[in-house]
C-alpha cells in the first residue's frame, strides 16, 4: 500500500544529529515518526454505511510520544516515502487533469514532477538516498502489461525495467543505493488470515534477483531497510513483524502482531502499526504506533489512537517536515 504528500516544510529540529554511514543518523538523534491517518476519527457507526469523516492528514511525533504536529500535506498526495537518511521525499500526487510521481526535499523545497508517459501506471515510488532516482511499480500499457519493478531518473530519463515478476506492490531502496527490496503479488496466496506475497531483493542495475521471504500484504511500506543496510524488516506471512538478513536466512520475530515497520535512525528499534478493524464498515480501521527493541524487550505504545492509517516512517529529526 502506499501513502502521500505535497510539500511545504521546514526543519522541525534544527541541527540535531548528523548523517552517518549508509544514511543512518547519529545515535543522539531520536528522529521523528511521520504517519498518516485521521487523528480524530468519527465514532463507530451503528450501521454498515460509511459515515463522512475528515480527510486523512499527516503528522510528526517524537518517539517518546510527545510533540504531535500536523503537517502541511494534503489528501491529493499518497504513497509517501522518504529516502534513506530522510533527505528526500517521494509521493504519488494528483490534480483534476494530472496524476503522477513527485520528488522533493523533505523540507518541501525543490518539488519536481517525474515526467512519465501519460497513460502509464506508476505506483509505489521509492527514492534513492541521493534523490536522483525513483524505483516504482510501473506498466507502460495498463491494459495488457504486467506491473514490474522499474527505475527512472527524477527528470524522467533512463526509464529501465529491473525485474519481470509481474505485480509489484511495495518498494524500498537500500541506504547505500546498491539494492532494492520489493513485494510482488503475482503468486499471491490467500491464507486464512489474508494474502501472502513474495519479498525480493535485486541489485540496482537489475542483476542478482533473489527471493528473500514470504510476507503478508498489509498496510503502507511493506519492507524497510535497516539504516546500515544489513537487514530488512517486514510483516511475515503470520502477520508478525520480523527482521531478516539482507542476504537471506531465518527471520527473527520482533513482535507477534504488527505491520508497516519503520526503523529508528540509530537502528536499535522498530516502530510499526497495530491495526484493528471496527467491524462496521470496510474503511473503519483504528491504529496505534508501537515501538519495540531489536532482539526482544517490552513493547511501548506511543502517540494517539487514530483512524484510517495509511503510512508510517521514522526519519532523522533534522530532516523532518514541520507544520
115: pLDDT strictly greater than 90: yes
Q: What is the pLDDT of residue 323?
A: 63
The predicted-structure confidence for 151-209, as pLDDT tens digits, reads as follows 999 999 999 999 999 999 999 999 999 999 999 998 877 655 568 899 999 999 999 99
pLDDT digits (tens, 9 = 90+) for 277-306: 776 665 678 899 999 999 877 899 999 999
Better-scored residue on pLDDT, 272 or 5: 272
Radius of gyration for the chain, computed over Cα atoms and rounded to the nearest angstrom: 18
Return phi, psi of residue 209, to 5°: -70, 130
Mean pLDDT of all residues in 225-252: 95
pLDDT tens-digit map of 81-100: 899 999 999 999 887 677 88
How large is the average pLDDT for residues 146-153?
A: 97
Which of 72, 76, 89, 158 has its CA nearest to residue 125?
Answer: 89
106 near 127, Cβ under 8 Å? Answer: no
Q: Is residue 246 pLDDT above 60, yes or no? A: yes
CA of 47: how far to CAs of 283, 306, 308, in Å? Answer: 13, 20, 18
Residue range 219-239: mean pLDDT, rounded:
91
pLDDT-derived band at 22, boundaries 50, 70, 90: very low
CATH architecture for segment(s) 21-43+53-319: 6 Propeller (2.120)
Give me the chain's average pLDDT, please: 84
pLDDT at position 52 = 64
Q: Is the pLDDT of residue 142 over 70?
A: yes
Q: Are 59 and 66 in contact (CB under 8 A)?
A: no
Q: What CA–CA distance (Å, rounded) separates 152 from 148?
A: 13
Q: How many CB atoms lie within 10 A of CB 98?
A: 9
* pLDDT of amino acid 303: 96
117-135 pLDDT, tens digit per residue, is 988 999 999 999 999 999 9
Work out the average pLDDT over 8-30: 44
Backbone angles phi, psi at 30, to 5 degrees: -75, -15
Amino acid at each position: 500500500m502506499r501513502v502521500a504528500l505535497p510539500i511545504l516544510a521546514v526543519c522541525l529540529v534544527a541541527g540535531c544529529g548528523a548523517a552517518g554511514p549508509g544514511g543512518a543518523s547519529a545515535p543522539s538523534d531520536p528522529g521523528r515518526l511521520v504517519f498518516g491517518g485521521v487523528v480524530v476519527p468519527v465514532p463507530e457507526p451503528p450501521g454498515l454505511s460509511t459515515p463522512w469523516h475528515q480527510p486523512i492528514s499527516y503528522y510528526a511525533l517524537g518517539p517518546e510520544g510527545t510533540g504531535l504536529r500536523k503537517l502541511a500535506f494534503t489528501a491529493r498526495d499518497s504513497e509517501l516515502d522518504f529516502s534513506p537518511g530522510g533527505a528526500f521525499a517521494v509521493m504519488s500526487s494528483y490534480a483534476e487533469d494530472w496524476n503522477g510521481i513527485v520528488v522533493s526535499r523533505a523540507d518541501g523545497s525543490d518539488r519536481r514532477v517525474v515526467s512519465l508517459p501519460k497513460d502509464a501506471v506508476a505506483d509505489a515510488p521509492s527514492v534513492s538516498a541521493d534523490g536522483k532516482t525513483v524505483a516504482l511499480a510501473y506498466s507502460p500499457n495498463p491494459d495488457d502489461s504486467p506491473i514490474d519493478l522499474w527505475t527512472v531518473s527524477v527528470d524522467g530519463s533512463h526509464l529501465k525495467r529491473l525485474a519481470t515478476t509481474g505485480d509489484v506492490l511495495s518498494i524500498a531502496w537500500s541506504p547505500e543505493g546498491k539494492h532494492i527490496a520489493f513485494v510482488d503479488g503475482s503468486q499471491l496466496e490467500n491464507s486464512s488470515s489474508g494474502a501472502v506475497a513474495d519479498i525480493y531483493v535485486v541489485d540496482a542495475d537489475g542483476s542478482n534477483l533473489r527471493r528473500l521471504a514470504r510476507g503478508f500484504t498489509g498496510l503502507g511500506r511493506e519492507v524497510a531497510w535497516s539504516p546500515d543496510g544489513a537487514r530488512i524488516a517486514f510483516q511475515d506471512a503470520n502477520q508478525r513483524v520480523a527482521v531478516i538478513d539482507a542476504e537471506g536466512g531465518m527471520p527473527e520475530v520482533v513482535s507477534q502482531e504488527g505491520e508497516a515497520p519503520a526503523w529508528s535512525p540509530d537502528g536499535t528499534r522498530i516502530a510499526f502499526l497495530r491495526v484493528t478493524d471496527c467491524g462496521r464498515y470496510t474503511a473503519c480501521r483504528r491504529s496505534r504506533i508501537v515501538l519495540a527493541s531489536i532482539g526482544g524487550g517490552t513493547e511501548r505504545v506511543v502517540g494517539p489512537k487514530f483512524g484510517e492509517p495509511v503510512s508510517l516512517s521514522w526519519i532523522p529529526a533534522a530532516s523532518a517536515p514541520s507544520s
